[in-house]
Amino acid sequence: MRILLTGKNGQVGFELQRALAPLGEIVAVGHAECELAEPEAIRRLVRAVRPTIIVNPAAHTTVDRAETERERAFAVNATAPRILGEEASRLDAFVVHYSTDYVFDGMKNGPYDETDATRPCSAYGESKREGELALQDATRHHLILRTAWVAGAHGSSFAKTMLRLASERDSLSVVADQWGTPTSAALLADITAHLVRQQQQGNPEAFPYGIYHCVAGGETNWCDYARFVVGEAIRSGRKLRADPAAIRAITTAEYPTAARRPRNSRLDTRKLQHAFGFELPHWQTGMRHVLQQILGT
């Protein structure tokens, strides 16, 4: 089995190289090997590699910058998945693609499930929704995993930012009226490997393709998440200027950004758990592991 993996230098791509390694030969590419904003470069890559499986965590993920870089955001997040799907269909290959809570507007009271209407409220969210639709049109043999608040030890993350700021400042102000679930990149990678294994070992035509929500268990807000990160770091022995009590809760209105964020990013994962027999760990479990790696403990 040959696996083409994009975004090898990102948080999820880094972990996928580890998780997918036992399943077959991995051809991992980053921006230097293939510019995903160029359709012909994608076609050349897929035709040269001739993969059995394409795993695509690569994306234009700078949410605020997407507001002024719409063309590039749509090229990477919408056109590239369509090209990957078309090329996969020619090869009868299987595509795993990652999407986001930003396809929703955040106005629902409870967790979003896969049947809820998508109403993105940012250019990034719009581009990711278009990517979902484009891949669905291009090939039936796809899995789209919507996830949220991804964190890993590799690359930049909210957790690393909070640790840096807490080492520089005596107090922090963090938004407390946006809710979601921190999800470790390692968990996403391990789930992906399990799904790929199931698809390859079973009857591919009977495999339950489609869209699934994939986040860890539990929920929190950004402020309490920051307090958790800082508290865990202090308990591990890290010296910080700000402690959890010095992290002040503020509203979204007090922290304006170029792109609007969903207030509710909670995703219902029952479909994924029922279809594949998963029990998803609480977000704090995964984040403790991420923090251990970041802190070197």
Q: What percent of the chain has pLDDT over 70?
A: 100
For position 153, what pLDDT does the model report? 93
Query: Which pLDDT value is given to residue 204?
Result: 86
State the pLDDT at residue 72: 97
Q: How far is residue 272's CA from residue 294's CA, in Å, rounded to a whole number?
A: 29
Q: What is the pLDDT of residue 95?
A: 98
The per-residue pLDDT for range 132-149, each reduced to its tens digit, is: 999 999 999 999 999 999
Do residues 296 and 163 lie in contact, with contact meaning Cβ atoms separated by under 8 Å?
Answer: no
If DSSP codes are grouped into helix, strand and coil, which group holds residue 145? strand
Active-site option among 102, 112, 124, 225: 124
CA distances (Å), origin 20, targets 5, 197, 199: 9, 9, 13
Task: Kindly report, residue by residue over 176-230, the tens digit of the pLDDT.
Answer: 999 999 999 999 999 999 999 999 998 888 999 999 999 999 999 999 999 999 9
Tokens for 231, please give them: 């508290």
Q: How far apart are CA 28 and CA 16, in angstroms?
A: 10
Q: What amino acid occupies position 280? A: L
Let me know the angle formed at the C-alpha of 30 by 209 and 45, rounded to the nearest 5 degrees: 70
Are 45 and 34 in contact, with CB atoms under 8 Å apart?
A: yes
Angle between helices 222-235 and 158-168 in degrees, nearest 10: 70
124 is catalytic: yes
Paired with 174 in beta bridges are: 249
**Crossing angle between the packed helical segments 283-295 and 158-168, to the nearest 10 degrees:** 60
pLDDT at 166: 98
Please give the domain boundaries of the chain with CATH numbers for all domains.
2-156+182-217+266-281 (3.40.50.720)
pLDDT lower than 50: segments of the chain: none
